[in-house]
Amino acid sequence: MIFPSAKRRFKSVLRAEQLAEIPSSFRDSDFCDEVPLYSRYKQVDYLKEYGDVDRLLLELSLDYFKRLASESPATTSRRFLAVTVVRDDEKEYIVPHIFICNSNVRRRLRGLRLSAPSSPLGRYVQSLLRQMPDSAEYTVLDDRSTIPDDVRVFVGYCKPQDRLVGLGEFAESV
């Protein structure tokens, strides 16, 4: 559960990153990119007042993800959406991103290889997700191929809405 005051303060962080209102570029049919939800650790230090910072960051990111998934892009293609998570150091907070690919998903992401979470970060994100009431809606997968010697964790819908390519469906198709 996210406290309303924590949510309001996170909206200020999103505003600083020009993400409070979902950018129109995110709906462009050619858009395919990954965007961090914050750029400085000090922007999210306030979350300590509300509990586990990493869990709250994941929950706030999934809240943003749901908003994004509910908006219609300017494309008739199925699109791929996920929250991706990286961490530069185990002593630092997780850094969630929004991953959006609005068209030609299989061609554009052909090098992306997703697998069951076996990395420490993947298992950690999965444990954070299990603490959330709607955790059954999501799946967690590791990407160990995109960034050499590093892992990036993908979180997305188990059963996606219409016009979305599901995380599991994508992983099985490549």
Domain containing 53 equals: 4-173
pTM for this entry: 0.92
Structure tokens at 125: 């994100």
Lowest mean pLDDT among 18-22, 70-74, 162-166: 70-74
Mean pLDDT of 87-96: 92
Q: Is residue 114 within 8 Å of 80, Cβ to Cβ?
A: no
Rg (CA), the chain: 15
- Dump pLDDT digits (tens) for 104-162: 888 898 888 899 999 999 999 999 999 998 888 999 999 987 777 788 999 999 887 77
DSSP assignment of the chain, as one string? ---HHHHHHHHHHHHHTT-SSPPGGGGSTT-EEEEES-S-GGGTGGGGGGS-HHHHHHHHHHHHHHHHHHSPPS-SS-EEEEEEEE-S-TTSPPEEEEEEE-S-HHHHTTT--EE---SHHHHHHHHHHHTSTTGGGEEEEEE-SSSTT--EEEEEESSPPTTEE-HHHHHHH-
Reported as a single tens digit per residue, the pLDDT across 21-58 is: 999 999 888 999 999 999 999 999 999 999 999 999 99
Question: How many domains in the chain?
Answer: 1
- From the list 115, 9, 126, the residue with the least C-alpha distance to 58 is 126
